[in-house]
A and B are shown apart, each in its own frame.
Chain A
């Protein structure tokens, strides 16, 4: 293990860390006296450049490798996950460039970058300690980002709720990890799997597994660990909520999938209809079913679009859990495909919401009325993002769902997981109703008197165009992403 090797493995994170310092100092010493708009522009541009440089580094360096102890692992799949996380962070930063709620510009972007470092480390580690530290780095930054709007009581409330729930989930997770270490004497996922392979479904292993699942369940907001999400999304500054809903989700899903598939292969069990068998599969199946049902039904009653997106996030987390049940390279690929395309669509939707908030003063459904008159393109993008979330082809969300369902059913013996697919499609019909609500306001309802003159910055448009293009491209040509994912997935297993 040379330093050169370390640089290669953790280059992207190092670049981001440099970007953090540059952003802080540049804001403090160079553009201190400029208008807030200019400062934001510079800070956002530097942060995006940092993310892009990290992404290019990961893409160009290539190669495989592992730092002993599984501290950092680099393979095809990890590289894709890392690139996705960095790309998502870059877009989240682009969409936040118009934010005017805080004078502390440098700190805001620095925190966005540190949480991105945490996410990047999360996806590339297979060591319990490293994993936990990365998770906490990402989470702590996000807690502050959620509470960053100091003039708004709701923002502080959101941050406190998010922090308390998150802290508790970390405690569960840590307890689970310590049990695992005690049982296996190893901190590496592979080592844990080896020493647990003859244990079967022994109670202590199951307890550890459940603890870990609870910890991840909080991160990805599946029912019944979802209670923080709607309040946090609603109260947080929209751009922070966007990062919580997307980047941290993708990283957590990748880590969770890798974790359960690699560390617990011996105690899979089965969540099949009438084929129940103890293990992690039934727990995951139950979480998935509950999230889909409660997330989708909960969203029906929302009038705030951010809350609506929060419930949609809960529901979508439920769909994504189904991919875990595939317990195969295909399952892994389907979770990643779904998470990435979900993130693109959700990020875009948050971007549109933030633009509407600035111009119309709120994120209620009524604030979207007649938007198509004021800004046809913004409306069109919102339509693409919401319809992708609803799973309407040819947008990416549709293929993502199909892929998950196929992987889940394929993984279970003899179609025994069809019941979950039936729940999922039934609930996705419910979801069309609430995804159509904002669109109905935008396209069908007339514009209120006095509205007009819609302003959006350059960065916002770049971000929205990029995300919409991604949603359409991954939907029309899923192989762009599926090909890389399956190649990586096959190697991982």
Chain B
């Protein structure tokens, strides 16, 4: 990677936090706040794209170190920002989701400055997680993201927002507490001199972590991260949190925050503890498959439009977790691709449900929405939802298809029974998506008593731009997945994963 690319990438985190600080501290009219917010998100996205281009041309399996300095000398903790193909994929995802989130929250008018300041504090934390290769630093950014989520939901949310916000904060914090305990154990077991994930991987390969240690450290860390990734049965924060959150926050929660969990599980638990993974792969795969089928099944019977999407996230994240424990190249790259793909599609779905429909119809009840004739009132929303629905179902041509098929192939290689069960989940996925689509947009049900439908404001320009951007992303990856796979697959063989390939998966 050339200097220019490295500079671009290392600027992303500071620029995002700077944006948060400027928005939070400088008094300016709401319109300017939105512009600054959009600017910050776009700068992050563009820097990520530039960095990725420069990385993709030169390095294959390499790890590009952006910034490395001692942080706490006596403990061997470094401020180490570095990227490989997997990090870059997630950085790009964050850039797209953040930009779309700003576009979809153009209409926020309550405490606008605080909203965007917290929004970018969250995004900065997310970028930080994806770019740090020092376990301690990664954890710092990981926890940093918890508090903004709480306030975003509790202040700007809808429905049972305070309950949902507290539930989400506590679930996240319990998860990160488990990771913290695991992190202390890893640190001490590896000689208490480094937190560098590459060096830890070297030590893991050299046998620093005994089998009996891995037998409890692996589930501690994997489940700790897994809570945020929507691992069944610790997923219940996700549907309540997603539905209570304001649109931009749901897009980020489902789009990138759940990926933090999966990413952490891959980087730490899967990469460092092959023996632990071998021991627990069956159990985790079972939970993942239950999550896929259960999430889809529950989505099928929801009455609230946003809950349908909330549970669908649980189901789709099940594929990521299943992919992680297959421990073969197809499955793992499928898992990472699914993280990207679901991030984009979930953003799109929540954009339609939370912003385009809810802000105009003021209800999320399917039974009320079906009487409103929304296909005529909001044709753009309908079109977007149909596309997003197809992408979410896993229609070929969209990114969801490539990702889920890879996970299924990987799972089939490792253990066909899990692949079969996950396949059932896909079928139910088609059913709940079509059901919701049909009820909201294509129903000709007549209301029992006359509903006064407020005249719908037309879909605004920012919404259209955001939707089109996300649709282009999912189509692009669906039609030519190698853009990302060329980044992901070589990265699975870099130094971070040197210990992993020695163990066994499912």
Contacts and interface: CB of A to CB of B under 8 A. Distances in A.
A392 B147 contact: yes
B181 A432 contact: no
Interface stretch (B135-143, B434-442, B455-463): B135-143
Given A479-B71, A483-B73, A425 B178 contact: yes
A216 B471 CA distance: 65
Contact of B188 (A398, A415, A429, A440): A415
B140 A398 contact: yes
B453 interface: no
Interface stretch (A46-54, A177-185, A405-413): A405-413
A19 B146 CA distance: 46
B187 A426 contact: no
B395 interface: no
A443 B151 contact: yes
A393 B73 contact: no
Contact of A425 (B144, B146, B180): B180
A76 B388 CA distance: 64
Contacts of B178: 425
Interface stretch (B96-104, B168-176, B346-354, B378-386): B168-176
Contacts of B143: 392-393, 398
Contacts of B151: 443-444
Contacts of A410: 188, 192
A406 B184 contact: yes
Given A392-B143, A393-B140, A402-B136, A479 B174 contact: no
Interface string A370-410: 00000000000000000100001110001100110110011
A168 interface: no
Contacts of A406: 75, 184, 187-188, 192
Contact of B166 (A399, A428, A436): A436
Given A409-B184, A428-B177, A440 B162 contact: yes
B155 interface: yes
A486 B414 CA distance: 50
A137 interface: no
B150 A436 contact: yes
A436 B167 CA distance: 12
Interface in A429-487: 429, 432-433, 436, 440, 443-444, 477-479, 482-483, 486
A286 B211 CA distance: 30
Contacts of B213: 415
B131 to A, nearest CB: 16
Interface size of B as a range: 35 or more
Nearest to B156: A444
Interface in B146-163: 146-147, 150-151, 154-155, 162
B452 interface: no
A421 B184 contact: yes
A18 to B, nearest CB: 38
B185 A409 contact: yes
Contacts of B73: 479, 482-483
Contacts, number: 88
Contacts of A403: 75
A486 B74 CA distance: 8
A418 B181 contact: yes
B144 A394 contact: yes
A107 to B, nearest CB: 42
B189 A415 contact: yes
Contact of A432 (B144, B155, B173, B189): B173
B170 A433 contact: yes
Contact of B184 (A405, A432, A486): A405
Q: Taking each of B139, B180, B185, which has the highest tally of chain A beta carbons within 10 Å of its own beta carbon?
A: B180
Interface string B57-97: 00000000000001111110000000000000000000000
A415 B185 contact: yes
Contacts of B188: 406, 409-410, 415
Contacts of B140: 393-394, 398
Given A432-B173, A436-B166, A443-B155, A393 B144 contact: yes
B194 to A, nearest CB: 12
A245 B245 CA distance: 38
Contacts of B150: 436
A478 B174 contact: no
Contacts of A421: 181, 184-185
B72 A429 contact: no
A422 interface: yes
B25 to A, nearest CB: 10
A433 B147 contact: no
B146 A392 contact: yes
A436 to B, nearest CB: 7
Nearest to A489: B74
A386 B192 CA distance: 29
B74 A402 contact: no
B173 A402 contact: no
A406 B74 CA distance: 12
A486 B73 CA distance: 10
Contacts of A415: 185, 188-189, 213
A491 to B, nearest CB: 14
B181 A422 contact: yes
Interface core residue of B136, B174, B184 (most chain A CB under 10 Å): B184
A477 B77 CA distance: 11
A402 B166 contact: no
A393 B70 CA distance: 18
Contacts of A425: 177-178, 180-181
Contacts of A393: 139-141, 143-144
Contacts of B192: 406, 410
A433 B166 contact: yes
Nearest to B24: A380
Q: Which of the listed residues A398, A399, A429 has the most CB atoms from chain B within 10 Å of its own CB?
A: A429
A483 B72 CA distance: 8
A476 to B, nearest CB: 9
Interface string B4-43: 0000000000000000000000000000000000000000
A437 to B, nearest CB: 9
Contacts of B139: 393
A440 B169 CA distance: 12
Nearest to B224: A425
Contacts of A418: 181, 184-185
Contacts of A387: 147
Contacts of B181: 405, 418, 421-422, 425
A478 B77 CA distance: 11
B169 to A, nearest CB: 7
Contacts of B184: 402, 405-406, 409, 418, 421
Contacts of B144: 392-394
Given A406-B184, A432-B170, A440 B72 contact: no
Nearest to B154: A444
A432 B180 CA distance: 15
Interface string A138-158: 000000000000000000000
Given A405-B184, A433-B166, A477-B71, 9 more contacts: A402-B184, A405-B180, A406-B75, A409-B184, A409-B185, A440-B166, A443-B155, A479-B71, A482-B75
User: Closest 9 interchain pairs by CB?
Assistant: A425-B177, A393-B140, A429-B177, A444-B154, A429-B174, A405-B184, A486-B74, A409-B188, A425-B181
23 contacts: A392-B144, A393-B141, A393-B143, A393-B144, A398-B140, A398-B143, A403-B75, A406-B184, A406-B187, A409-B185, A410-B188, A410-B192, A421-B181, A421-B184, A422-B181, A425-B180, A429-B170, A429-B174, A432-B169, A436-B150, A440-B162, A443-B154, A482-B75
Interface of A: 330, 333, 387, 392-394, 398-399, 402-403, 405-406, 409-410, 415, 418, 421-422, 425-426, 428-429, 432-433, 436, 440, 443-444, 477-479, 482-483, 486
Interface of B: 70-75, 136, 139-141, 143-144, 146-147, 150-151, 154-155, 162, 166, 169-170, 173-174, 177-178, 180-181, 184-185, 187-189, 192, 213
